[in-house]
Structure 1
Amino acid sequence: MELIHRLQDRLGQDLGVATGVRDVAKAFVIGRVETLLLDPPAAASVFELMADDYPGL
C-alpha cells in the first residue's frame, strides 16, 4: 500500500511518474524506472508494444 500512496502523491504533484505503455517503455530505455506498478489486464487490453519502436528495450 505504501507504493500506491507514493504513486498517488507523485501523480498529484506531476513528479517522477510515467503512465501509459509508451511513456513507461521510454522510461525503461533511458534507465529512469525505479519501481514498476502494473495492472496486466488493463495494459494488455489497451496497447500492444512494438519493441522495435524502442531501441534499447
Structure 2
Amino acid sequence: MTGPGNSLRRGFAAAARAAGHDPPEIARAGGCADGSRVLARYMDDVDRVRNSPPVGIGL
C-alpha cells in the first residue's frame, strides 16, 4: 500500500508524463533521483496506457 505522499508523487509524475514532459524534467520537479526505478515505473504505466491499441482507436 502506498501512503499519501507516494500517491501525490505518482499522480504528479503521471500527469506530467501524460502532458508530454520528459522523465528527467519530471524527476527534477518531483525531487526524484536521476535514474529512479520508481519514477521509471510510473512512466511505464502512463506510456503503456497511452500506447494501448484501444486508446489509439478511441475506446
TM-score over 0.5 (shorter chain):
no
Q: Considering fraction of residues, name the structure with more helix.
A: 2
Give the TM-score normalised by structure 1: 0.29
